[in-house]
Chain A
């Protein structure tokens, strides 16, 4: 009798597995014997998702051969070399909204291959930033980036500081709502070389991105509709002056012009920086006692405003399918799978931000219902911050223009040029680039 029950149970389980597998197979298609070559971004925060690839392989019968896995900057160079050499017959590539416009002709328009109702399930701002010249070049994964303000809570709980700040600046010391307040508070909190008010990325695309969002927050823009540089406007000068003032006041570390994301993250985690505009990937790190001296003392608030709107330079990662791929149907199936609701739920469980509306809602609801107050606070800040998100100009020359602009921004910050001289020189050089590129 027992034996008979055991066999019945076993058969029922087998039937259930077969049904669920066939459901999976019907959802993702059947591609027996197909091998999809992929070039993916590597790094700890991105790897978790790749563990799910085995599920797609089991469901479809296809194989995924990851022929390259590198940091995004390395994979960008490799893809450019592939384009130069004409070796672009691999199928799926990691992509990023800031990089996508550069790869002209490499990736296929997913509007033709992904059903419109699936595309509609993503946050439309992310879909807009994934679209270049009307072509949807990638499907976004749960790696959306917009920066919010991390701060050390203890600075706002000290009665002496509060009173001293009020006496000096004439308004109450509270978590800053505007970038002018960030400047005041940064100068007030700074005690170099032991403690700094804030810090900012100081080179490469990083500083240009930060400058770009400050220009927008001040009511200006980087380029006009004809792609002519207009960042040397009054708004641009006000934006750059903010960086210069903080540097001159020694409210930021002297080496900030050589810092990029890792240096900034480690700096805030060392507990020696009061205010830090930073990305979502750092939230867990900042509040983890193993990695951060600031753990337990970290607050998260929506990013402050310029004189017109809030900052919100954003970007996101995604997956694209090459035009030269031999089996686009299978490649699109893989990309759909990696950006599906289940995949985004799994990936965003690690702390990254999703790009699907339903996953946003699920995460915010779960955080509210959970017992991790910090996670709920951070997620609420990012959900609010995402409302102000905007991507970089979708042109292939964005990266090259940042290489022209960042040394000029640095020149103003370290005092080699005035703000106006630096911005005028940068605008002149970007203008030449745009002319050479045939925009006007």
Chain B
């Protein structure tokens, strides 16, 4: 009679499985379970009261949640596209630099080194309507105005987008610059010999080659931006009148300030759909871009 032994592959993977279960799976299952309860942090006993899909029904019929959802999609779309444009521009210019490029690359990374909370406070001061830098500059230039940067619906969204873009454009720039470094020179030289204009070279050779890098950056940043919290919380707190309310400011207020963790977790699970959709979309685009370059999809 031989003792049954676990398969070797399983034994080898076991430590990783245990760690992943402990830090990812169990909290995930716990939060999923709590989204079906009226769990309040200040009333621990509510964790054991099952209310079925009540929280989900409440969210799905809550106009404020869907407004925050829509605003997050808008925020994500505008920020990602602008970061891509600015990042691409910076990377292309940086690629032309022949002296001091390393220093420039380091300087480029500076905004990413700041804590988002610090960036939030910095831009909150810059855009303050009374004592802020922007309005003071405008006033010293002779414009007798005090623009409500953090109050007006459009200006407030612009201000938080500006801060987010300022902090994270360099992610795009660095990844695209890595793509430019990896790019073979031959096709560009052949295009030059064939008489292509710089725009034609960029449009038909450089850009298709960069697309896989762009989509990777898009995927990473879409997950980041969909979780935008720190900067928005510090600058506007989602206000005024919910004009800048994004999913995570709403969720954190529900979960930690109102202590309604069950409801906040249900919001989290609905909003994960957003991240999944963006990730699937960008991965599909990535595969298509790689296939176009003749790489394995």
Residues of A within 8 A of B (CB): 77, 80-81, 83-84, 86, 102-104, 192-193, 202-204, 253-255, 257-258, 266-267, 270, 272, 396, 399-400, 403, 406-408, 410-411, 413-414, 416-417, 436
Contacts and interface: CB of A to CB of B under 8 A. Distances in A.
Contacts of B259: 80, 102, 400
A300 B27 CA distance: 54
Given A80-B42, A86-B44, A204-B237, A270 B258 contact: no
Interface string B123-160: 00000111100010001000011111111000000000
Nearest to B136: A193
Contact of B150 (A77, A193, A258, A270): A258
B146 A254 contact: yes
A193 B128 CA distance: 12
Identify the interface centre among B43, B149, B236: most chain A CB within 10 Å of its CB.
B43
Given A255-B128, A255-B150, A399-B257, A83 B241 contact: no
A395 to B, nearest CB: 12
Interface residues of B, number: 35
Given A202-B240, A254-B129, A81 B44 contact: no
Contact of A192 (B42, B146, B149): B146
Contacts of B260: 400
A410 B131 contact: no
Given A193-B135, A407-B245, A414-B241, 10 more contacts: A77-B256, A80-B259, A84-B41, A193-B144, A254-B129, A257-B151, A257-B239, A258-B151, A400-B257, A403-B253
Contacts of A254: 129, 146-148, 151
Given A202-B240, A414-B241, A255 B151 contact: yes
Contacts of B145: 193
A254 B242 CA distance: 16
Contact of B239 (A203, A270, A396): A203
Contacts of A417: 241
B142 to A, nearest CB: 13
A77 B258 CA distance: 10
4 tightest A-B CB contacts, nearest first: A193-B146, A254-B148, A255-B129, A257-B240
B261 interface: yes
Contacts of A396: 42
15 contacts: A80-B259, A83-B42, A84-B261, A86-B44, A104-B42, A253-B129, A254-B146, A254-B147, A254-B151, A258-B150, A258-B240, A272-B130, A400-B259, A403-B253, A407-B245
Contacts of A83: 41-42, 44
A103 B44 CA distance: 11
A414 B260 CA distance: 29
A255 B239 CA distance: 11
Interface string B76-102: 000000000000000000000000000
A254 B237 CA distance: 16
Contacts of B150: 255, 258
B48 to A, nearest CB: 13
A266 B43 CA distance: 38
A370 B164 CA distance: 54
Query: For the complex, would chain A's binding face be called helix, strand, loop or mixed by DSSP majority?
Result: helix
Nearest to A203: B239
Given A255-B128, A258-B151, A272-B130, A410 B261 contact: no
Nearest to A255: B129
A204 B233 CA distance: 12
A407 B254 CA distance: 14
Contact of B236 (A258, A399, A411): A258
Given A204-B237, A253-B130, A399-B258, A414 B151 contact: yes
A203 B144 contact: no
Contacts of A399: 257-258
Contacts of B128: 255
B167 to A, nearest CB: 20
Contacts of A103: 42
B239 A410 contact: yes
A270 B131 contact: yes
A407 B238 CA distance: 9
B122 to A, nearest CB: 15
Given A193-B139, A400-B258, A253 B146 contact: yes
Nearest to B47: A84
Which residue of A86, A103, A104, A255 has the most chain B CB atoms within 10 A of its CB atom? Answer: A255
Contacts of A408: 241
Contacts of A192: 146
A80 B256 contact: yes
Nearest to A79: B42
Nearest to A258: B150
Interface in B18-67: 38, 41-44
A203 B131 contact: no
A403 B258 contact: yes
Contacts of A86: 44
Contacts of A414: 151, 240-241, 243
Nearest to B64: A407
B82 to A, nearest CB: 24
Interface in B209-267: 236-243, 245, 253, 256-261
A410 B258 contact: no
Contacts of A81: 41
Contacts of B135: 193
Nearest to B149: A255
Contacts of A77: 256-257
A403 B259 CA distance: 12
B146 A203 contact: no
Given A255-B150, A403-B253, A84 B44 contact: yes
Contacts of B238: 407
A403 B42 CA distance: 17
A11 B160 CA distance: 70
Contact of B130 (A104, A204, A267): A267
B43 A104 contact: yes
A119 B241 CA distance: 43
Contacts of B151: 254-255, 257-258, 414
Nearest to A270: B131
Contact of A413 (B144, B146, B240): B240
Contacts of B239: 202-203, 257-258, 406-407, 410
A270 B132 CA distance: 13
